[in-house]
Amino acid sequence: MSRKYAKLGFILAAGASFLLSVSLWFSGNTQEGVFVGLWVPSILSFGTLLMHKVN
């Protein structure tokens, strides 16, 4: 059960990062938007790494 919540947490964190990136981009802070947008694959990759380490 905790594994399911961990997966959900990583997906929510990546989704929040994506939404923050889009909102920064369209508010005129394009460099900050790109920077925060780079977090999305990093968060998902880190989650994948941790999920495979658990097995």
Contacts of 31 (CB under 8 A, 6+ apart): none
- Tell me: pLDDT of 51 over 60: yes
Pure H helices in 1-55: 2-26, 30-37, 39-54
Contact by Cβ (8 Å): 32, 44: no
Residue 25, both tokens: 């981009």
| pLDDT tier, 11 (very low <50, low <70, confident <90, very high otherwise) | very high
pTM: 0.83
Number of domains in the chain: 1
C-beta atoms surrounding 36 within 10 Å:
20
| pLDDT tier, 44 (very low <50, low <70, confident <90, very high otherwise) | very high
Structural domain range at position 19 = 2-54
- Going from the C-alpha of 48 to that of each of 21, 37, 52, the distances in angstroms are 22, 18, 6
